[in-house]
Structure 1
Amino acid sequence: MLRILFVCTGNTCRSPLAEGLLRIRVHQEGLAAEVRSAGVSAVTGGPISRNSASLLQEAGFKDSISSLAIQESEVNWADLILTMTMGHKRTVIQRFPGAIEKTFTLKEYVEDDAHILQAIEEREQLVTELQLKQALSQAVSIEERSRIFKLEHAIPDFDISDPFGGSIEIYRQTAEEISGSLDKLVHKIRARNEGSK
């Protein structure tokens, strides 16, 4: 059973949409996965946004979701933590360094373009090398700075738009953006389920 935790800021807009929409798919397709969501700046027990709740209801989601502040118990529960933005990913890793190997943005995790995946891997290696150099008070060369700049431009924006305070149409656009990534995620979960049989 794969345990997935979606994370955004307040756990009222994006991550509850991702949780609800994926739970619908998991149930419909009989996939072995559990899904929850939390927020890096959430208040536990609060309601999710009215627009997110409306869209989930439209999609056929019958359960209720309330906001949850991310905590160690949720991080330990999760096999996979999928954030809505790179900022959320950094925050999760800063607060829970042990989660680094299982924390990705949703879009990053489902990316399937080999060139982009290679650029991500190169960037991660270079960032690690440069952080080590800085920790050892060594200078970072112009070539290294230029290389990281080129890699950053080869990688698309992995953030999901924040509909907070917007109309139902803005929320619908965000839900469609999330759904596109969930299609790829469901494919990965299905492949994982079939591989474990």
Structure 2
Amino acid sequence: MNLLFVCTGNTCRSAMAEPLMRKRLAAAGLENEVEVRSAGIAAFAGQPASKGAKHVLTAQGLDGDAHMATPLDDELVRWADLILTMSQSHKRAILERHFDALEKTFQLKEFVDDDPESVKILDMMDELQAEAQTKQALFMAEHADELDSLQQRYADSGGQDPTVDAELAALQQRLEESVQAEAEKMMELASKLPDYDIADPYGSDLPVYEQTARELEIALDKLVVRLKEEL
């Protein structure tokens, strides 16, 4: 199994989550079953872990100096069997570019939430999401000829026909309207869920990093248990 943690710059939260998870996998005898990587949606390649993250990892007997930030790219998204983000904004950013990763992308704390009420709400949201995907697929099938025509007009004009953009925008709006009921219901359900975001400690003092690490460790302990049951 390929597991990918994602945050913003891949220097704090996901940079800590990756080695902390490896340590737990080794303790659980799963180090050969799960490969772990991390990345950032706005990372600069090769940037080291932040000072606070390094301190947390060193205190855990881990090598924080070994970390180098990795930007999230298409190849990493394809590589991952499970993508766990640190916040809702990270999850949203991934799915805006990689909608096909919908079924494998979650917030870390969302994925390990075992509260029965939360699980019930998440299951309902999954059902609504499936309904919305079906509606969108039907819409695209019904309007395939229209979309092909617009694409041909765009190519014939060398991208210089302003009416094509307007018609594409109108088509997109109609697509969104076709699943508006599901979207509104999902927003209503989401408002009943706990806050799954893990706060970004970047630029904060060491105690904030330590608090973030404790939050990560609680979630990672639950994650190991879940993976052990599923693998």
Provide the TM-score with structure 1 as the length reference: 0.86
SS of 2:4's equivalent in the other structure is strand
The answer for the alignment partner of 1:4 in structure 2 is 3
The answer for the alignment partner of 1:113 in structure 2 is 115
Give, as a single letter, the amino acid of the residue that structure 2 aligns with 1:135.
R
SS of 2:44's equivalent in the other structure is coil
SS of 2:2's equivalent in the other structure is strand
The answer for the alignment partner of 1:83 in structure 2 is 85
Give unpaired runs (5+ residues) of structure 1. Answer: none
The answer for the alignment partner of 2:62 in structure 1 is 61
Residue-by-residue CA offset, 1:23-74 (whole Å, 9 max, x unaligned): 1111222212111100000011111101101111111113611100001121
Q: Once the two structures are aligned, what percentage of the paired residues are identical?
A: 40
SS of 2:54's equivalent in the other structure is helix
Q: Distance in 2 between matches of 1:115 and 1:54?
A: 37
Of 100, 117, 120 in structure 2, the residue corresponding to residue 98 of structure 1 is 100
Q: Distance in 2 between matches of 1:17 and 1:74?
A: 18
Please report how far the alpha carbon of residue 121 of structure 1 lies from its aligned counterpart in structure 2 after TM superposition.
2.9
What's the RMSD between the two structures over aligned residues?
2.5
Superposition map of 1:1-197 within 5 A: 2-31=1-30, 32-62=33-63, 64-126=66-128, 129=132, 135-136=174-175, 137=177, 145=184, 147-148=185-186, 150-193=188-231
Q: 1:44 to 1:30 in 2, by over 3 A?
A: same
Structure with larger Rg: 2
Q: Distance in 2 between matches of 1:25 and 1:148?
A: 34
Give, as a single letter, the amino acid of the residue that structure 2 aligns with 1:157.
D
Q: Distance in 2 between matches of 1:183 and 1:138?
A: 41
Give unpaired runs (5+ residues) of structure 2. Answer: 140-172
Give, as a single letter, the amino acid of the residue that structure 1 aligns with 2:89.
G
| Alignment check: 8 A CA contact 2:24 2:221 kept | no
Moved more, 93-102 or 132-141: 132-141
Count how many residue pairs are aligned between Structure 1 and Structure 2. Answer: 190
Q: Distance in 1 between matches of 2:179 and 2:124?
A: 20
- The structure with the largest helix share of the pair is 2
Q: 1:86 to 1:139 in 2, by over 3 A?
A: closer
Provide the TM-score with structure 2 as the length reference: 0.74
| Alignment check: 8 A CA contact 1:89 1:103 kept | yes
Give, as a single letter, the amino acid of the residue that structure 2 aligns with 1:61.
L
Moved over 4 A (4+): 124-134, 136-141, 147-150
| Alignment check: 8 A CA contact 2:85 2:107 kept | yes
Please report how far the alpha carbon of residue 95 of structure 1 lies from its aligned counterpart in structure 2 after TM superposition.
1.6
SS of 1:42's equivalent in the other structure is coil
Q: Distance in 1 between matches of 2:230 and 2:179?
A: 44
Q: 1:149 to 1:87 in 2, by over 3 A?
A: closer
| Alignment check: 8 A CA contact 1:24 1:60 kept | no
| Alignment check: 8 A CA contact 2:52 2:206 kept | yes
SS of 2:194's equivalent in the other structure is coil
